Amino acid sequence: MQNVLLEMKQIEKEFGQTKVLKGVDLRLDAGEVLSLVGENGAGKSTLMNILFGMQSIVSTGGYGGEILWEGQTVKISSPAQAMELGIGMVHQEFMLLPAYTVTENVKLNREITKSNLISRVLGPSMGTLDHKTMQQETKEALDKIHLNVKPDIQVGSMSVGFKQFVEIAREIDKKNIRLIVFDEPTAVLTDVESRWLMDTIKEITAAGVAVIFISHKLNEVIELSDRIVVLRDGELVQTLERGETDATGLARLMVGRNVDFSNIEGRPVEEIEKREVVMEIRDLKVSMPGEKAKSVTIDIHEGEILGFCGLAGQGKLAISNGIAGLYPSSGEVRYKGETLPFGNPLAVLKKKIGFVSEDRRGIGLLLDESIRMNICLLAMQIRNRFFRSFGFFKQVDTKSMKETADAMIQELGIKCTGDAQHPSALSGGNQQKVCIARAVVFSPDVLFVSEPTRGIDIGAKKVILDYLVRLNREKGTTIVMTSSELTELRTMCDRIAVIYDGKVKAILKPTDSDEKFGLLMSGIDA
């Protein structure tokens, strides 16, 4: 029996109405590696934010359940407190200040000071910085992880991989460190760097420091972990000990929903691929921060429903955003034989290509205009609809706008007080319906839909998905849907492209197995 370092019991957390953690248990011994595995939105990051006392948790009402640190119940309410206990975190987004040197970053808020006349009166925060000692200790920490850089160079000029290691050096440098959380550390690393990181982690644990490892790369998880905790939709699916499973088994556990294949809408792939190609995407690169598409090549066939699936950060969202002209892109996209210009949303819309953004409050809606205006705006701007013409003047035709809006409200079941209400007062699901209504009124030939069901309730989800399928079947609109919810893609799409590392990893049939999806999404060839 080793000494238990950390125990989390029945952890629960809700944001507003949605419960993101539903009673998760976790136990970790000193010097052990525990891996957290699960799809995006499974609750891994929330769990770690709770452990780290992040503001996003504290300010939304804290958490339920109990955390035991070395057998003592603790209530962690700030990162400072977590650090005091000896918990360190290597963040997914770098917590490094690019204009600072390596030393300044490693010693951030733990600067060593020399006392002087003023600090003796006003306290240690007026102490002069002791650059020499800081430099020296940083060097020692860097040596420990075999990182050969000078401590006085600026972090901003370093490669992504090196930055990752500077973060690790910062945690190592903390004298009281007992546990380090790695939040998807290898997502941005090259293979060699990943290898190096794994060796480093093994060295760290050999020194008695425990590690919580969050990763989508299942091979690495299998290799490193003493224990694997699989989360799905905020629930603990299973805790596995070393050697109990392999990557395939893990993938099944991670994705494993029982898709009801009798409900599937998809049509045979062979038939779809015989249809005419409406859009050819060749080597598309989109620099959308955090979701970069590196080289996407795919054909979209007339009248199909194509799905893009993949984990967050792999670039699936960038494809439709890039084509819609919202982020700087390069490569080639040909639509019906003509090249589409990049960075010109108007030109894309004029070709009757619609886009429903994943950012419905930011890009999607005019929150302070009426629902009627929101629904009709695109059609007015692009198609010149809803105007009456009087010679040189044009007047907005409110009557026909109202008729259209009312029809859409009816059809999609938008719950509102009327077409004059502002969408800011609507629930997320109803806002999403307004976004879809707008794209439909503009009657596009190709419709890109990004994350149409993110953060909305089940009822609205069903209405939206059914409506999209109906739109496709009745009007023949080609639909390209990007979603993190594999299940919904599999129930409605004809073909599903798995996006990994900014590229199309494979194109699957909706009926392919859970393992296949799981492995491909983690970048393993199945």
Which residues contact another protein (rule: CB under 8 A)? Answer: 54-55, 78-80, 83, 89, 91, 95-100, 104, 108-109, 111, 113, 118-119, 124-129, 287, 289-290, 292, 327-328
Shortest CA distance to 449 belongs to which of 346, 364, 332?
A: 364
Closer residue to another protein (CB): 287 or 400: 287
Closer residue to another protein (CB): 123 or 418: 123
CB of 61 to another protein, least distance (A): 19
SS3 call for 159:
coil
Residue whose structure tokens are 């007992």: 178
CB of 359 to another protein, least distance (A): 16
SS3 call for 336:
coil
Which residue type does 293 have?
A: A
CB of 328 to another protein, least distance (A): 6
CB of 503 to another protein, least distance (A): 16
CB of 96 to another protein, least distance (A): 7
CB of 152 to another protein, least distance (A): 15
Relative orientation angle of helices 398-412 and 371-383, to the nearest 10 degrees:
120
Separation in Å, CA 84 to CA 59, 168, 244, 344: 20, 17, 35, 51
Closer residue to another protein (CB): 495 or 503: 503
Closer residue to another protein (CB): 153 or 425: 153
Report d(CA 193, CA 161) in Å as an integer. 7
User: Are 428 and 456 spatial neighbours (Cβ–Cβ below 8 Å)?
Assistant: yes
Report d(CA 471, CA 331) in Å as an integer. 30
CB of 60 to another protein, least distance (A): 16
Closer residue to another protein (CB): 120 or 257: 120
User: Are 203 and 215 spatial neighbours (Cβ–Cβ below 8 Å)?
Assistant: no
User: Are 502 and 313 spatial neighbours (Cβ–Cβ below 8 Å)?
Assistant: no
Report d(CA 180, CA 203) in Å as an integer. 13
- Where are the alpha helices (H) located in 207-246, listed in sequence order? 218-224
Backbone Cα Rg of the chain: 26
CB of 193 to another protein, least distance (A): 17
CB of 383 to another protein, least distance (A): 32
Closer residue to another protein (CB): 79 or 307: 79
CB of 169 to another protein, least distance (A): 14
Report d(CA 64, CA 76) in Å as an integer. 12
CB of 37 to another protein, least distance (A): 24
Count CB-CB contacts under 10 A for residue 434: 25
CB of 505 to another protein, least distance (A): 20
User: Are 67 and 82 spatial neighbours (Cβ–Cβ below 8 Å)?
Assistant: no
Closer residue to another protein (CB): 58 or 237: 58
CB of 167 to another protein, least distance (A): 11
Shortest CA distance to 440 belongs to which of 377, 366, 360?
A: 377
Shortest CA distance to 318 belongs to which of 281, 270, 347, 353?
A: 281
Closer residue to another protein (CB): 53 or 266: 53
Report d(CA 375, CA 402) in Å as an integer. 10
User: Are 431 and 359 spatial neighbours (Cβ–Cβ below 8 Å)?
Assistant: no
Closer residue to another protein (CB): 343 or 476: 343
Closer residue to another protein (CB): 98 or 476: 98
Relative orientation angle of helices 371-383 and 428-441, to the nearest 10 degrees:
30
Separation in Å, CA 339 to CA 278, 332, 334, 336: 12, 7, 4, 8
DSSP string, 172-195: HH-TT--EEEEESTTTT--HHHHH
SS3 call for 383:
helix
Closer residue to another protein (CB): 127 or 331: 127
Q: Which residues contact 498 (CB under 8 A, 6 or more apart)?
A: 309, 310, 504, 505, 506, 507, 508, 517, 520, 521
Closer residue to another protein (CB): 103 or 432: 103
Closer residue to another protein (CB): 124 or 337: 124
SS3 call for 354:
strand
